[in-house]
Amino acid sequence: MIATTPSAADVLEFASTDVPCADEPDLWFSEHPTELESAKRQCLTCPLAQKCLEGAISRREPWGVWGGQIVVDGIIRRRKNRRGRPRLTEFAA
């Protein structure tokens, strides 16, 4: 997949629409899973959520919340793992 940049029309649409990520963009790229979940919830009211997600996947965005989903290397992930080694309890069953 080849990375693309947003079209001028997409940029204008984003700039002229009231989107939740415009006020606090760092939340959408947080290292804290609870903050990422908050960003995902805020995307539920965004009129551009689907277009945002499609753009992130086509551009293979390295990470962040896009269109209400956590995206890592252009792939939707259920959740973002914390940094470092996983806890033993994550493997115990």
Query: Binding site for [4Fe-4S] cluster: residue ranges?
Result: 21, 43, 46, 52
Is residue 68 within 8 A of residue 40, CB to CB? The reply is yes
Query: Binding site: residue ranges?
Result: 21, 43, 46, 52
Higher pLDDT: 55 or 8? It is 55
Please give the pLDDT value at position 2.
Answer: 46
- Inter-helix orientation angle 49-59/8-15, to 10°: 140
Domain ranges of the chain: 22-80
Cα diameter, the chain? 51
Is residue 67 within 8 A of residue 43, CB to CB? The reply is yes
Least confident of 39-43, 56-60, 69-73, 83-87: 83-87
Write the burial class of residue 27 (CB in 10 Å: 0-12 exposed, 13-18 middle, 19+ buried): middle
